[in-house]
Structure 1
Amino acid sequence: MQNGQSGQAPLNPGLVFDMVQAVQKTAALKAAIDLDIFRAVGHGPGDVASIAKHAQASERGTRILCDFLVINGVLAKEGNCYKHTPSSAAFLDPASPACMASVAHFMARPELITGLTGLADVVRAGRTHLPGEGTVEPDNPLWVEFAEKMAPMMGPMAGPLGAVVLEGHAGPMHVLDIAAGHGLFGIEIAKQNKEARVTGLDWAPVLRVALKNAEKAGVQDRYNMLPGSAFEVDFGGPYDAVLLTNFLHHFDKPTCVGLLKKVRSSLKPGGRAATLEFVPNEDRVSPPMPAAFAMTMLTTTASGDAYTFSELNSMYDEAGFTGVKGHPIPMSPHTIVMGNA
């Protein structure tokens, strides 16, 4: 049977070149954000000279960078002028309320990129070569920047998570938000239920970011802070609900089970524990984004992973939870997994 005939994909050497040169795409996007290119394009007129002047950069460098962004579908070009695509106007121009430039900038941080250096050695070791426990080292300043810059990506997940957690529950309630970060998930609970009180748990400098967001949302009088490590501090309680958003994937299964047991002991009978995770299918290669997240965990943590629903279900079950269900968030790589105490 010849390549390209039924049952076999055609030969495509371009796949190799795309992967080898993919690093250029990350570097180009970060450079464009650093140089404020997308704001300049939005203001117009979009010619090389005006963009270069705004960016305080050379015209040659600006032209080549902007052309590269056009080649990769990030910008459009009409004649000698650069324009926004609908996506870049929405997600990369700082003038847009949906701008995700801070997210892209955070994800291109040296700490995260460094984890990919010497990947063969990382694969041999089965863990990051970053110092200690990698990105989950105690009081890692990385998480302050995460709290400050990742809100545009995480914010749209807060509404659906709040609706799932609060379904069938009204009136006074106390919620613990573990690894609160920016605090948006707990804050959303307080916004949807005017009688809910939220306790955010994270490192103290991170919680200061969450408190500012609570103040912006007008719920600071119902937002408490519990600084420290989720593995060490006394949770208090009992709580009606506990949130574990984008946290379990940093650790191995025994560590996750131990934490879930601690969570369960802090809940009222019938209380809910909700995680927000990148959950790949059981084949571990689809959908692409949640499945590929396992590589991020390999290169930045000692033992983290992208867990399938069956793996998360097993962790919940071992910790004593019942009625575990997955709630995929539409148009998102995230799934809410919730179980009852």
Structure 2
Amino acid sequence: TIPAAAIARLVRLEPGRKHRVLDIAAGHGKFGIAFAREYPKVEIVAQDWPNVLEVARENARAAGVEDRFRTLPGSAFDVDYGSGYDLVLLTNFLHHFDPETCERLLRKARAALAPGARAATLEFVPNEDRVSPPVPATFSLMMLGSTPKGDAYTFSELERMFRNAGFARSELHALPPTFQSVVISYP
């Protein structure tokens, strides 16, 4: 997918070095798979529900990276991630939850990172006025109507969540031609 490959290029990992990437709520797995394709020594640990991980595993097999693709079945909030990851991916997930729940998950993700590692989050991020650009603003309305407490968060809201979870700083990167953005956060 366009966003998956773009994130793998945006979040540069040191070529030729082994890296461990945790893909939280991996879904189809294509975001982690994009890193495995871009960086031949990356090992992906995809976390999601068991039936969802079957799809991700098949996609890893089709992409030729199944030998570097592991799974971690269960709830993102309950499963033990382990530690020592060079990168944590959180793609299209935080918008389902309220800020307090996001912070709880982000603290857990932060604890799984190795020193010098980071987290990359893909989201629809509206401007601070919350009414522009149109697609992220509309997505915010969709989340308000389709989730108990979800929202499309502004960068300042995401930055605050990451800071409250133990991250030192965050950067916002547009991801054209999509309407989404990547937030890269550093401990």
What TM-score, normalized to structure 2? 0.97
Give the structure with the larger helix fraction.
1
Q: Which SS does the other structure have where 2:150 is aligned?
A: coil
Counterpart for residue 29 of structure 2: 183
Partners of 2:7 and 2:174 in 1: CA distance: 10
Partners of 1:285 and 1:217 in 2: CA distance: 39
Q: Which has the higher strand share?
A: 2
Cα distance between partner residues in 1 of 2:117 and 2:107: 13
Secondary structure of 2:70's counterpart equals strand
Which of the numbers 303, 322, 325 marks the counterpart of 2:171?
325
153, 175, 178: which one pairs with 1:307? Answer: 153
What are the superposed Cα offsets for residues 233-290 of structure 1, whole Å, 9 maximum, x if unpaired? 0001210000000000000001111111110001011111110000000110111011
Partner secondary structure for residue 148 of structure 2: coil
Aligned to 1:30: none
Aligned to 2:61: 215
- Compare relative contact order (CA 8 Å, sep 6+) and give the higher one, 1 or 2: 2
Q: Which runs of 5+ in 2 are unaligned?
A: none
Equivalent in the alignment of 1:224: 70
Instruction: Report how many aligned residue pairs link the two structures.
Output: 186
Cα deviations by residue, 1:289-328 (Å, 9 ceiling, x for unpaired)? 1111112112221100010001001111111112310111
Match of 1:3 in 2: none
CA distance in 1, matches of 2:132, 2:80: 38
Partners in 1 of 2:143 and 2:13 — Cα distance? 35
Corresponding position of 2:140: 294
Q: CA RMSD in A?
A: 0.9
In structure 2, relative to structure 1, the CA distance for the partners of 1:168 and 1:195 (3 Å cut) is closer
Query: Which residue of 1 is the match for residue 14 of structure 2?
Result: 169
**Structure 1: distance between partners of 2:64 and 2:157:** 38
Residue in 1 that maps onto 2:120 = 274
- Give TM-score, length-normalised by structure 1: 0.54
Structure 1: 5+ residue stretches without partners? 1-154
Q: Distance in 1 between matches of 2:184 and 2:174?
A: 11
Which of 199, 219, 236 in structure 1 is aligned with 2:45?
Answer: 199
1:168 CA drift (Å): 5.0
- Helix, strand or coil: the match of 2:22? strand
Who is 1:264 aligned against? 110
Hey, what's the Cα distance between the residues in 1 that align with 2:50 and 2:142? 25
Tell me the distance in 1 between the aligned counterparts of 2:14 and 2:136. Answer: 30
How far, CA to CA, are the matches of 2:166 and 2:123 in structure 1?
A: 20
Q: Which 4+ stretches in 1 moved above 2 angstroms?
A: none
